[in-house]
Amino acid sequence: MPPTPTRRSFVKGLGAASALVGLGLWRPLALAAEGRRPHDLSGQHFELFIGQTPVNITGQPRTAQTINASLPGPVLRWREGDTVTLRVRNHLDQPTSIHWHGILLPANMDGVPGLSFAGIAPGDDYLYQFTLRQSGTYWYHSHCGLQEQAGVYGAIVIEPREPQAHHYQRDHVLLFSDWSDQAPEALLATLKKQSDAFNYHKRTVGDFIDDVADNGWGKTVTERWAWAKMRMSPTDLADISAASYTYLLNGQPPAGNFTCLYQPGETIRLRLINASAMTYFDFRIPGLELTVIAADGLPVTPVRVDELRIAVAETYDVLVTVGDLPAYTLFAQSMDRTGYARGTLARATGLQASVPALDPRPVLSMDDMGHGGMGQMDHAAMAGMDHSTMSGMQTHPASETGNPLVDMQTMAPRANLADPGLGLRDNGRRVLTYADLRSPYPDPDGREPSRDIELHLTGHMERFAWSFDGIKFSDAEPLRLKYGERVRITLVNDTMMTHPIHLHGMWSDLEDEHGRFLVRKHTVDIPPGSRRSYRVSADALGRWAYHCHLLYHMETGMFREVRVDE
């Protein structure tokens, strides 16, 4: 995949042009009028092969790494209580793996090479087998190198053993992802050389003049100087933008117009999955209300919204009752507003609705970084301050002091659970927040944590280096838990980026600011300048991955091993 960078706010592309190979265990993708639909595999026994497939997403022939020769891979449909067996064969010339994201299983079935599993060598295979102890919407992806970016991912739907509480006439999977014609290794090399290389929306002299008119000379100059000292840009919201990415819905670019059919008055369940490598999506269907009924596979008390942000690796289930219009647009714009994925809900194939314009580009403020006052400061400034005179300020681990991998620290973080997020505040739409999410069940464990663990999300934007507590994975000791204990993990974001943090093998029970249980998740989003806590029951023996799910952040150091011992 030779690098061919192009500049575009969004990409009009062609559908994937892969030749699908039948194994007798799955059927080829059915052709829809507006594009190819992901195919389903159901049952208890599966055979998957990871290989290379020609694709044409943007008009330029490329090669993707795929599962069963399709991008995304097949939708795996399982049933709660069943034991599933999956033979995964490696047809690549490099090691590979499959991680079953959010699925509770033995450590040697989790699919993370180097922990409780050696990986799948070229030409070899691995037999995954585990019993399903949950239901809902999940996904799967490679945990080897950057293969997830290259196309190795797919959706999982687990039907519940008991009858469902919600009634609907149709059920659709909407899997969002990001694709680049550049090789993932080339993208990472570019970020290491220049971390803002894909940010084509830096502030200009015209922006400065507008800010002076709105905020006055003094405030504007002070804020610009603060950003300059940190050598950062308030428009640097995403490491990779539509300057390189094409945003996909079920493998289709915007021009592919992936289409779901309906009849007027029907209620439809949409299973939203963010399987991207680096992109946050803000999803809505103009003209329709969304009723959120599940988060990360588990039911929540229904909440009605117009829009929701889906962090990388999160899933949400929503119900939509369609009206009398012939078509509605499925619209998912990137958080940095450089592009979007889109599809259509339609009465018949070939119909389309208007596509909304992208929202205005958000700009980070110092309040976003630390919410006023001292807020978030660069590391050099903090090193010269007398912290003993500053009561109420956030403390930091000693490993951050004088650390070339840490370029800033937040001094007044808050949970901000009721904040919809940058670019979504006061936009005239009802936007889902973490504060809206409520489990319909009480805390599944019920015990108070026996100890607290605080970790800081750290990084250096200019060096594109990411870590926990300023210690990259290669230099970090495992985080050790005792089997059966209940702990509270508090994450403090000392960076200007938002990070989706995923703990393998165990649930993360999100708390509010007062320590009260809200909802059980497998991925917890931590915005800049925030401090969020969740409880973990160490009920799974073995060695587990714990990391930021922004692929290039994980790859460059924001990763820890969690070891659960007896």
Length of the chain: 566
Locate tokens 């069963």: which residue? Answer: 68
Confidence (pLDDT) at 41: 97
* Residue 1 pLDDT exceeds 70: no
Note the pLDDT of residue 219.
Answer: 59
Q: What is the DSSP string of 201-240?
A: ----HHHHHHHHHHH-HHHHHHHHHHHHHTT--TT---SS
Q: Does residue 237 have a pLDDT over 50?
A: yes
- The 75-79 sheet, strands edge to edge: 40-42, 75-79, 153-159, 136-141, 99-101
Q: Same fold for the domain at 31-165 and the one at 364-566?
A: yes
Contact 351, 326 (CB under 8 A): yes
Residue ranges with strand state E in 347-443: 376-378, 408-410
Q: Going by C-beta distance under 8 Å and a sequence separation of 6 or more, which residues neighbour residue 218?
A: none
In this prediction, residue 223 has a pLDDT band, given cuts at 50, 70 and 90, of low
Give domain 31-165's CATH number out of 3.40.605.10, 3.30.1200.10, 2.60.40.420, 3.30.110.30.
2.60.40.420
Residue with tokens 């989003």: 525
Q: In the structure encoding, which two tokens stand for residue 386, read together?
A: 């007398």
The pLDDT, as a whole number, for residue 32 is 31
Mean pLDDT is lowest, of 154-158, 219-223, 267-271, 542-546, for: 219-223
Instruction: Give me the percent of the chain exceeding a pLDDT of 70.
Output: 82
Alpha-carbon gap, residue 41 to 72, rounded angstroms: 13
Rounded to an integer, the average pLDDT of 532-554 is 98
| Residue 369: per-residue pLDDT | 59
pLDDT on residue 299: 97
Residue 392 contacts residue 490 (beta carbons within 8 Å): no
Q: For tokens 């959010």, name the residue.
A: 102
Query: What's the pLDDT tens digit per position in 402-412?
Result: 999 999 999 99
Contact 411, 394 (CB under 8 A): yes
pLDDT at 362: 87
Q: Cα(456)–Cα(501) distance, rounded to whole angstroms?
A: 12
Residue 372 has pLDDT above 80, yes or no: no
Share of the chain above pLDDT 90, in %: 78
Q: Which are the contacts of 98, defined by CB distance < 8 A and separation ≥ 6?
A: 48, 50, 86, 88, 111, 128, 140, 141, 142, 143, 152
Mean of pLDDT values over 444-469: 96
**CA 445 to each of CA 279, 442, 535: distance values in angstroms, whole numbers, following the listed order:** 33, 9, 9
The pLDDT score that the predictor gives to residue 199 is 74
Cα separation, 424 vs 434, in Å, equals 14
Nearest to 451 by CA among 480, 479, 489, 478: 489
pLDDT score at 425 = 95
- Structure tokens belonging to residue 327: 């078509």
Q: Give the DSSP H or E segment for 461.
A: none
What distance in Å separates the CA atoms of residue 169 and residue 171, rounded to the nearest whole number?
7
Evaluate the omega torsion of the peptide bond into residue 2 and state whether it is cis, within 30 degrees of 0: no
Beta carbons of 169 and 329 less than 8 angstroms apart: no
pLDDT at 554 over 90: yes
- Angstrom distances, CA of residue 204 to CA of 257, 330, 348, 361, 378: 35, 33, 46, 14, 23
Average pLDDT over the chain reads 87
Query: Which amino acid does the sequence have at 541?
Result: L
- C-alpha to C-alpha distance for 379 and 407, rounded to whole angstroms: 5
Question: For the ranges 7-11, 190-194, 331-335, which has the lowest average pLDDT?
Answer: 7-11
pLDDT of residue 39: 85
What is the reported pLDDT for 163? Answer: 86
Say what the alpha-carbon torsion angle 278, 358, 199, 151 is, to the nearest 10 degrees.
Answer: 30
Question: Dihedral of CA 308/314/319/323: which sign?
Answer: positive
Helices (H), 21-70: none
Distance CA(28)–CA(558), nearest Å, equals 38
Strand positions, DSSP E, 322-450: 327-334, 340-346, 376-378, 408-410
**Looking at residue 12, what is its pLDDT?**
28
Instruction: Give me the residue label for tokens 């800081």.
Output: 456
| pLDDT one-digit tens code per residue, 87-106 | 999 999 999 999 999 999 99
For 270-282, what is each residue's pLDDT tens digit?
Answer: 999 999 999 999 9
What DSSP letter does each residue of 224-280 carry, written as one string?
Answer: HHHHHHTT--TT---SS-TTTEEEEETTB-GGG-EEEE--TT-EEEEEEEE--SS--
For residues 192-198, average pLDDT: 84
pLDDT in tens, 294-304: 999 999 999 99
pLDDT at 181 (0 to 100) = 97
What mean pLDDT comes out for the span 221-237?
A: 57
Which of 418, 287, 292, 284 is closest to 359 using CA atoms? 284
Helix (H, G, I), strand (E, B) or coil at 436: helix
Would the CA dihedral through 469, 433, 278, 317 be positive or negative?
A: positive
Around Cβ 209, how many Cβ atoms within 10 Å? Answer: 11
Quote the pTM value: 0.87
* Fold annotation for 364-566: Immunoglobulin-like (2.60.40)
Q: Helix, strand or coil for residue 107?
A: helix
Provide the residue ranges of all domains of the chain, joining segments of one domain with +.
31-165, 364-566
Q: What is the dihedral of CA 100, 77, 345, 352, to 10 degrees?
A: 80
Which residues lie across from 466 on neighbouring strands? 459
Q: Mean pLDDT over residues 64-86, rounded?
A: 98
Residue 384 has pLDDT above 60, yes or no: no
